[in-house]
Amino acid sequence: MAESTPDVDPATVAVIRNYLTSAATEMQRTLTRTAYNTIIYEIFDFGLSMYDADLRLLSDSPGLSLFLGANDFSVRKGVEHVGEENLNPGDVLVLNYPYWNSSHTLDVCLFAPVFLDEELIGYTASRAHWLDLGAKDEGYVLDSTDMHQEGLIFPGTKVYKGGEPDEEILDLIRFNSRIPEKTLGDLNAQIAALRTGADRLRELHEKYGTDTVDAAVDRIVDHGESQAREGIAALPDGTWSAVDYVDNDGLSDDLVRIEIEVTVDGDEIGFDFSGSSDEMPGPINIPFGRTEAICKFCLKTLTTPDEPGNHGHYEPVDVVAPEGNLFNAQYPAPTYTLWASMLAVDVVFKALAEAMPEQIPASTGGDIDSIMLYGDDPETGRSFVEANNEGVGWGATNERDGPNALMHYAQTMVRNIPIEVFETKAPVQFDELSLRQDTGGPGEQRGGLGIRRDYRLTHPTNVLAIIKKTKTEGWGLEGGKPGAKNVVVLDLDDDDPNARDRVQIFADNNDDYPDDGNEWVGMMRGQFEPGEIVSNRSGGGGGYGDPLDRDPEAVREDVIDGYVSPAAAREAYGVVVSADGELDREATEELRSEADRREASDRASGDR
């Protein structure tokens, strides 16, 4: 006769649930306090998770949100590969094989089984971005054509066995990294985070007993699923699709199609990526685990955004992406630049906006605007790699303006590096960090502004930019207009006839911008000399509603704040603001009436 499941009172369930959430947060603090690279302890480019023995998600701690759903897929694949029967107390495994890892090779997943008295009670997982693991290029690989150009691969390899490090595996890592001390330092920080989570999970089982904890987890997961299903059921039923484009795959200038079909049917939701491009020759292909993570993220934001995540929240989701599709990369497809996964989040919301525009924001600036510096440190002579992501404008909603210069919401709690920190880590000084005027999409509610950051190099340094949304615009909703596009501006040495030859440009945007002697680009890599400037300028969010319906006083305040220029106030909003910041109500009324007459005439011409 099977043992009966303990009857766990609600108070105990709540205590256990909050204990697990707290334990994941403690894992995060351990990682950020012990990591070596700014991309972890400043940017928060990581994801931490805890699982029960059946690999159900118990809790997580977000840095980059798409890592969390990715961990679910990765740990499951890693355990399948190694075999649960081959896991022992004290083991730690490293996994970065892209098609199991749900990401590219540098987003390294470490996971460990957790035992109590020789009984497997769960797993802890820590994913973090390492800055070098022997890929063909330093920094980022922008034009790889297969996985084997993208660095050292681990399919789920024991780096610790029975609590002891495997020095041969550590040597493989050490001798395949251009920055071995920092790489191994981050590995050890991740292991410290795993041990923190394991200790807390054991303490929980020791205090309440495994039967009680398992019964409480059943209740927590069931409740999470019911919450998600209630949230989906509140959405309208139907099927909607949307399309957007990635600038290129790194090898050609051709746009790459993202098409997503979203179906809501009762209390279930499905995401179908079949209409997207096939696998591309260049490194923008998305492993299926990452595609699942995109959908989990979108579902979570729609249904239970304020709840700590668990396995149950993701039960109602179904994901379709055929093998060989852009969103289901197969060996040996290159996967190094995963920007399509960030853009896909916007496309999901674009599709849903057809049915529920009052619940969905207009598009973001549409990218994460990454700049990376690498080379030899002029003070120590050692190799260095430093990366920074930039905020974009978020889209407006039917109730409020879009926020300015926030990290793309696919990244959740990721941050950029403070100027004071970055200037101590790389040979650079920042000439400007400001909001970009007139980049927010006009609307009754204005889109958020993008940001400008100017990197002036102080020593010969290699720089690369990874921006994949510079050719096509975002979108507004309900008559709102798109925000400005992303762009990188290169101010090279005019006196150096070879300056242009030092830079490899993968996406040229000069035709869209002023002929001012600068290079206006999307993705690039090159060597820059002292005094040369790389200006990273991120996109703005889309507007919501007719710009002519925006409160003229709100437009005046935007002009005073420098968000909107007087010219754009007049042209986009039909609002006249004087040089001293006063609203000219009579001129505004006349200008808006004229715009209304033109619009009515255009509609009449269209009807004829």
Of the ranges 3-12, 112-121, 287-296, 554-563, which one carries the lowest mean pLDDT score? 3-12
What is the pLDDT at residue 2? 40
Residue 410: pLDDT band by 50, 70, 90 thresholds?
confident
- Average pLDDT on 449-462 reads 97
482-511 pLDDT, tens digit each:
999 999 999 999 899 999 999 999 888 888
Q: Is the distance from CB of 499 to CB of 527 less than 8 angstroms?
A: no
What is the pLDDT at residue 513? 86
Residue 604: pLDDT band by 50, 70, 90 thresholds?
low
Answer whether residue 48 shows pLDDT above 80. Answer: yes
Name the nearest CA neighbour of 294 among 233, 339, 353, 236: 339
Name the nearest CA neighbour of 157 among 222, 75, 78: 78
What is the pLDDT at residue 5? 61
Say how far apart CA 61 and CA 22 lie, in whole Å. Answer: 9
Q: Is the distance from CB of 267 to CB of 230 less than 8 angstroms?
A: yes
With 0-12 / 13-18 / 19 or more C-beta atoms within 10 angstroms meaning exposed / middle / buried, residue 379 is: exposed
Say how far apart CA 194 and CA 192 lie, in whole Å. Answer: 5
88-125 pLDDT, tens digit each:
999 999 999 999 999 999 999 999 999 999 999 999 99
What is the pLDDT at residue 412? 74
- Average pLDDT on 564-581 reads 96
Residue 607: pLDDT band by 50, 70, 90 thresholds?
low
State both tokens at 2. Answer: 């099977």
Letter string b/e over residues 564-582, b meaning 16 or more CB atoms within 10 A of that residue's CB: bebebbbebbbbbbeeeee
- Average pLDDT on 534-553 reads 97
- Average pLDDT on 171-179 reads 97
What is the pLDDT at residue 601? 61
Residue 600: pLDDT band by 50, 70, 90 thresholds?
low
Question: Residue 546, Cα to own-chain centre: how many angstroms?
Answer: 30
Say how far apart CA 171 and CA 185 lie, in whole Å. Answer: 13
- Average pLDDT on 76-92 reads 98
Say how far apart CA 177 and CA 159 lie, in whole Å. Answer: 16
Determine the length of the chain.
608
CB atoms within 10 A of CB 113: 24
DSSP alpha helix (H) spans, 35-95 = 38-41, 65-82
pTM exceeds 0.75: yes
- Average pLDDT on 344-358 reads 96
504-532 pLDDT, tens digit each:
998 888 888 888 889 999 899 999 999 99
Say how far apart CA 7 and CA 13 lie, in whole Å. Answer: 10
